[in-house]
Amino acid sequence: MRRRSLLALPGLAMPFLANGAAWGQGWKPPAPLRYVVPFPPGSSFDMVARIVTDGAAPRLGQNIVVENRPGAGTLVAVQAVKVMPPDGQTVVMVANSFTVNPTLHKPKPYDPLMDFDPLALLVEMPHVMVCHPDVARDFAAFVAKARQPGAGLSFGSNGQGTSQHMGMEQFKLLAGLNAQHVPYRGTPPMMTDLYAARLDYTLANLPDVLPGIHDNRLVPLGIVARQRHKLLPDVPTFAELGFGQMVSDSWYGLVMPAGAKPEVRAALTDAVIGSLARPEARARLEENGLDILAKGPAELTERIKRDTAVYAEVVRAANLTPG
């Protein structure tokens, strides 16, 4: 994944708001903010949320309470925030699944760009496919086993309709695998079952599988990225393995209920982008394999539009349902 220098990003070299005013001038939340996280504690998603809020709180002059609300591939949290007033007191951190749910679920649970105001595109990271050592020791052996008739292998995700689920469904179609999806309420319980060999394989965020790869509890099979990652230099890309069509990554963004005043949106955007500019935040994120984007509403809007189209095709081709 190509890294982007924070120093090259407009507005990050100095702590200024988008309209040119210094921090502290502009909208201030009158009470502690709710920062809703659609996954349980212990995941890379939760880690990013806490890094962001640690730096954003002093910039807003108010406490930020992280509220974990997992379930239904982020749908529980997103729908709860959708009906909140657009006063800036509640935001929700979203991922690729934010663009999947409107196609996957009937009736359409929300419109990501009509029901929400995009605030910031925070980070992105590649996905790594790993399996339990009892399944296979390399990619070729894994594919051969996963194509065998019979009961088939089991693959886990951090929820129905998440980007990891979409990526594995795409690979299942491309490689002709005999495998069944097992959705979990977040990454930690899925990893517990994978380590215990109750699950065969997964396609997960790089930070979530690094520990298991390093201590040989997991076998890395391939990484979905343009080039090999510096933290896993011996793991081939899916393009090298003959599956360059694979599209699977994770990005994290921040949205709020639609209809907020411009000064509220600007203050929240600048607070979270400013938080990512901190050296300690940058160091921790990068050492865990996350690429810092720190982009504003326009870039998040474009990412939402892109992934809505891509995942709609995967849902159609794989005939996926919410169950």
Task: Kindly tell me the burial class for residue 107, based on how many C-beta atoms sit within 10 Å of its own C-beta (0-12, 13-18, 19 or more).
Answer: exposed
Mean pLDDT along residues 130-153: 97
Please state, for a pLDDT cut of 90, what percent of the chain lies above it. Answer: 72
Q: How far apart are the first and last CA of the chain?
A: 33
How far are the Cα atoms of 146, 150, 269, 274, 277 from residue 7, in angstroms, in the given order?
45, 54, 18, 12, 9
Q: Mean pLDDT for the chain?
A: 89
pTM: 0.79
Residue 14 has pLDDT above 70, yes or no: no
Instruction: Tell me 28's DSSP state.
Output: -
Residue 7 has pLDDT above 80, yes or no: no
pLDDT given at position 247: 81
Which phi and psi angles does 205 have, rounded to 5°? -60, 140
* 211 within 8 A of 289, measured Cβ to Cβ: no
Nearest to residue 277, comparing CAs of 27, 2, 3, 9?
9
Check residue 20 and give left, alpha or beta (phi > 0: left; psi -120 to 50: alpha): left
Mean pLDDT along residues 314-322: 84
CA quadruple 286, 289, 292, 297: dihedral positive or negative?
negative
Distance, in Å, from the CA atom of 256 to the CA atom of 34, rounded to the nearest integer, reads: 11
Distance, in Å, from the CA atom of 11 to the CA atom of 295, rounded to the nearest integer, reads: 10
Those residues whose C-beta lies under 8 Å from the C-beta of residue 249, and which sit 6 or more positions away, are 1, 96, 124, 125, 126, 127, 163, 224, 225
What pLDDT, in 10s, does the model give residues 176-210? 999 999 999 888 899 999 999 999 999 998 989 99
Residues 308, 127, 158: CA angle, nearest 5 degrees: 70
Mean pLDDT along residues 88-111: 94
Residue 47 has pLDDT above 50, yes or no: yes
pLDDT given at position 33: 97
Distance, in Å, from the CA atom of 258 to the CA atom of 236, rounded to the nearest integer, reads: 42
pLDDT given at position 16: 35
pLDDT given at position 323: 64
Which phi and psi angles does 185 have, rounded to 5°? -90, 60
Q: 3-class DSSP state for residue 155?
A: strand
Residue 23 has pLDDT above 60, yes or no: no
Which of 83-92, 99-108, 158-167, 309-318 ranks highest by mean pLDDT? 83-92
* 197 within 8 A of 133, measured Cβ to Cβ: no
Domains of the chain: 6-124+251-318 (3.40.190.150), 126-224 (3.40.190.10)
Distance, in Å, from the CA atom of 300 to the CA atom of 310, rounded to the nearest integer, reads: 15
Residue 314 has pLDDT above 90, yes or no: no
- Alpha-carbon Rg for the chain, nearest whole angstrom, is 20
**71 band by pLDDT with thresholds 50, 70 and 90:** confident
Nearest to residue 27, comparing CAs of 269, 275, 273, 267?
267
